[in-house]
Structure 1
């Protein structure tokens, strides 16, 4: 498939799958089930063109690389926001596989080290994660702010909504 065909397929899948979630299995294959959209709006030409023009006019680059590689050129006063797969809230809530290799605890530690390295060069760094003892231990030296967040994606509908962690 051409890049345009791949993009079109991705846009389609994100419109018809469960809650617009993007996730792959260990083989790197898209593995989100279909949602219950009765009449999804697959494409909005005006919006697609507007977003494309914005990205092209603002010199925005999209990278498909490891997070450490993506921030190699960060400098003082740059702003970096990380939103990794969160540390599980419990031993049974261990889903962190949004990518082929998953996001392990070692990856969480690499992210922490990257976070503090960028901060030490004067970059403004912000990160989201769950509020767990392990998260607080990893980021004990950081300025932590607790926020409530709504969660729209959960296989159990009763667990969607406001979360304190």
Structure 2
């Protein structure tokens, strides 16, 4: 019932994620390097670029331990995870959502299933934590949320098996990336207005200081011969930071804003060192 063996599902992002790049991949394709060795994605999120490139060797990381736990569980024990998600699918309603949101599970699989469940049923698929690290997004208005997607999860599990997945900050890439590797940075974007000042998808804020530190990492990787691509807001601050590198404008759709009238097309910046 949960799985149709005749059905082939290509691996793709299985989480909805604020700032996810699935809709932008078509615009990114001309800018990806033609050849590289190991692929690194230090701000993993939904992993849209990874799932497009499907590199034979990858190091996927994020500072959010809950997110990394989900990827590890999908890779290492996808069948047990599917069983838990099927139970959540059966029980889902408003009361169950808020009960699940309040839970503090101890096992890796239970934590992973909880995050996927909340991600598929919360408002806009937005991952947000308060200062205590507790998920605090209200329930979304979905008629039939796809909480359990066995075929997709199995295909994702297959392609993740050749990847190293770890909790780490973006500066850690300096320890591992070598000449002719490829690093893609997709940090929380620099806010271009007070209403877009949303830089903390977790309790770890990404400040202006962090943006400058990221630029320094970009420069150091460049000096090592690593190929680097970065996406960020198209604004004076980011353009000035990366003024020594080629860049291109990307037209994106803004889905998260406190004012509905301000959601829509917006320019983003794609920066490269090659």
Q: State TM-score, norm by structure 1.
A: 0.91
- Most deviating of 32-41 and 3-12: 32-41
Residue 152 of structure 2 corresponds to 47
Deviates more, 1:3-12 or 1:68-77: 68-77
Structure (1/2) with the larger strand percentage = 2
Structure 2 match to 1:122: 225
**Could you say which structure has the higher helix fraction?**
2
Cα distance, 1:26 vs structure 2: 2.0
* Partner residue in 2 for 1:109: 212
CA-to-partner distance for each residue in 1:128-159, whole Å, 9 max, x for gaps? 11111111111111111111111222232222
Determine helix, strand or coil for the equivalent of 1:118.
helix
- Give the direction of change, closer, same or farther, for the CA distance of 1:45–1:151 in structure 2 (3 Å limit): same
Q: Which runs of 5+ in 1 are unaligned?
A: none
Q: Which whole-Å deviations, capped at 9, do the CAs of 1:14-42 have from their partners, x for residues lacking one?
A: 10012222222222222222111122111
C-alpha separation between the residues in 2 aligned to 1:70 and 1:36?
A: 39
Structure 2, gaps ≥5 residues long: 1-105, 269-274
Equivalent position of 2:264 in the other structure: 161
Give me the whole-angstrom Cα distance separating, in 2, the residues matched to 1:158 and 1:62. Answer: 38
1:1-165 equivalences under 5 Å are 1-56=106-161, 59-91=162-194, 93-165=196-268
Aligned residues: CA RMSD: 1.5
Number of aligned positions between the proteins: 163
